Amino acid sequence: MTAIRLPNIHSCRKFVRSLQLDPYATAYELCDQISSLRARPIRVVESRLPIPGPMGVWVCRAHDDVVVVQELATGAHHDHIVLHELAHILCEHEGETFPEYEPVLPILDQERDGGAVLRLRSAYDSETEREAELLAAAFAEQMTDDRTEPGISWDVHRYFAGD
């Protein structure tokens, strides 16, 4: 899969359709399908991430991708965090190494991997964050169990898509 560029919600919806996914009711189910498509596992784990701090972290390892979600997040917010990190993975956004985060990521302690690259969830402060938010919104729209809280995806549309 080559790097994709999704400048607006319409291109995100088109990309989601192009994946020809089976119906999914949760972000976990979507991750399973994307794992199969990419032939590279995506694992979702919950952890008590420090507050203030990112609500989700993508850890790119040698043989899999790990999405670490703030365990205090629930419901649609939880799903949105996973979808956002999943979008980073699919868009192949560049990661940065944040070694100071390793102690709070239990998954990394169990399976040490020197090549881990962490991508932190931050504010909408860059092109890649914008792209990840838009694609997450497009994935949320397709969720069969519609738990998406309007406040999240509508805000994204208003800020970025102009519709």
Instruction: Based on the shown chain and the rule CB under 5 A, indicate whether residue 93 belongs to the binding site for Zn ion.
Output: no
By CB under 5 A, which span of 41-49, 97-105, 132-140, 154-162 interacts with Zn ion? Answer: 132-140
DSSP-derived secondary structure letter, 142: T
By CB under 5 A, which span of 30-38, 59-67, 114-122, 145-153 interacts with Zn ion? Answer: 114-122
Q: Quick check: 57 and 64 in contact, CB under 8 A?
A: no
Please report the beta strands in 11-160, taking only residues with DSSP state E, as ranges in sequence order.
42-47, 56-60, 65-70, 117-120
Cβ-based nearer residue to Zn ion, 129 or 149: 129
Task: Please tell me the distance from the alpha carbon of residue 29 to that of residue 48, in angstroms, as a whole number.
Answer: 22
Q: How far is the CB of 68 from Zn ion (least distance, A)?
A: 13
Return the exposure string of 35-54: e unless at least 16 CB atoms fall within 10 Å of the residue's CB, then b: eeeeeeebebbbbebeeeeb
Contact characters 42-71, Zn ion, x per CB under 5 A: ------------------------------
Instruction: Based on the shown chain and the rule CB under 5 A, indicate whether residue 80 belongs to the binding site for Zn ion.
Output: no
Q: How far is the CB of 133 from Zn ion (least distance, A)?
A: 8
Q: How far is the CB of 84 from Zn ion (least distance, A)?
A: 6
43, two tokens: 């694992």
Task: Please tell me the distance from the alpha carbon of residue 4 to that of residue 122, in angstroms, as a whole number.
Answer: 20
Question: Which residue among 132, 136, 138, 152 contacts Zn ion (CB under 5 A)?
Answer: 132
Instruction: Based on the shown chain and the rule CB under 5 A, indicate whether residue 121 belongs to the binding site for Zn ion.
Output: yes
Residues that bind Zn ion (CB under 5 A): 121, 129, 132
